[in-house]
Amino acid sequence: MRFFRSRDDLAALSRVELLLLIVVVAVILVLAWPMWQSALVKRDLTRTMYHARELYLVAFRMATDGAVKTDPALAWPGDYPTNSLTEYCTKLVGNNYVNSADLQRMLSAPGAACTATSAAPPATLLLSGNCALKVYKVKTSDPSNTIFAASSNYVYDTALNPGGVPFGDAGFVVIRKSGDVGVYKKSQATPAGFDNNVEKFQTDIGALPGATKGVVSPGDQKTVLSGPP
């Protein structure tokens, strides 16, 4: 009876054990990879939600100051005679409500890198690249559930496009004029995700600027400030 294995036997056993370990680790990685990817996307969506909130607070402060001072130069984006995100952001930077570096961070996300450069005097701003957020032409007269901004992969009352930047159809971010902000699932992109209850959709997701209560239609309806790309 042999009580001890030869070195060759031990080496062979070690190789088998190592191979089994590699196979087990590979299987675990394959099974865990989708969950890992999902966790990363959720993290990025949450971060973008916070950035949208920051941008909203900047816009809210400027519009509130304009209302208090009765200054038309300080207003919500839809109260200006402009359709340009660059021009609106120039007002935010030029009136010292945000600097270009922070604005660049707010407008960027993985897969959507926006560059904001400014020069003074006079205060000018140039946006380039891909903006992670789009800003709607919200006016003072719009109700609180009006959408102020959304992640750029979301088109109102439209199913998410898997190729949309950023996030594809993994989810989207919306912040309303009231300041309420959230991350939503792709099933919530249209009223179908709310049992076709249009009013609930307008309450939970929001309404386009100037929209009629209880009426929605696919598309942003030219209510978004134009910007890069």
User: In this predicted structure, which of 34-38, 108-112, 124-128, 158-162 has the lowest mean pLDDT?
Assistant: 34-38
Confidence of residue 199 (pLDDT cuts 50, 70, 90): very high
| Res 119: pLDDT | 73
- Say if 217 falls within a structural domain: no
Tell me how far apart the alpha carbons of residues 194 and 188 are, in angstroms, rounded to a whole number. Answer: 7
106/149 Cα distance (integer angstroms): 12
Q: Say if 210 falls within a structural domain.
A: no
Q: Could you identify the residue written with the tokens 């993994």?
A: 170
81-90 exposure pattern, b = at least 16 Cβ within 10 A, e = fewer? ebbebbbbbb
**Number of other residues whose CB lies within 10 A of the CB of residue 97:** 19
Quote the pLDDT of residue 40.
83
SS3 194: helix
Give the CA angle between residues 70, 73, 77 to the nearest 5°: 110
Q: What secondary structure does DSSP assign to 24-56, as a single string? A: HHHHHHHHHHHHHHHHHHHHHHHHHHHHHHHHH
* pLDDT over 70 (residue 23): yes
Mean pLDDT throughout 211-226?
95
Is 29 inside any structural domain?
no
In a domain, 225, yes or no: no
pLDDT at 1 exceeding the cut of 60: no
- DSSP helix/strand/coil, 88: helix
> Is the residue at 224 inside a domain?
no
Residue 176, pLDDT score: 98
User: What is the average pLDDT across 185-211?
Assistant: 96
Q: Is residue 119 part of a domain?
A: yes
Task: Count structural domains, the chain.
Answer: 1
- Give bridge partners of residue 26 from the DSSP assignment: none
27 dihedral zone (left: phi>0; alpha: psi -120 to 50; beta): alpha
pLDDT at 32 exceeding the cut of 80: no
pLDDT of 188 reads 97
Residue 211 lies in a domain: no
Given a cut of 90, whether residue 37 has pLDDT beyond it is no
Instruction: Check whether 78 has a pLDDT greater than 70.
Output: yes
Is residue 63 a part of any domain in this protein?
yes
Task: Answer yes or no: is pLDDT of 9 > 70.
Answer: no
More confident residue, 25 or 209: 209
Q: 137-184 pLDDT, tens per residue?
A: 999 999 999 999 999 999 999 999 999 999 999 999 999 999 999 999
Which residue, 165, 171, 174, is CA-closest to 207? 174
Cα–Cα distance, 60 to 150 (Å, whole number): 16
User: Which structural domain, as residue segments, surrounds residue 176?
Assistant: 44-204
pTM: 0.84
178 vs 181: CA distance, rounded Å: 9
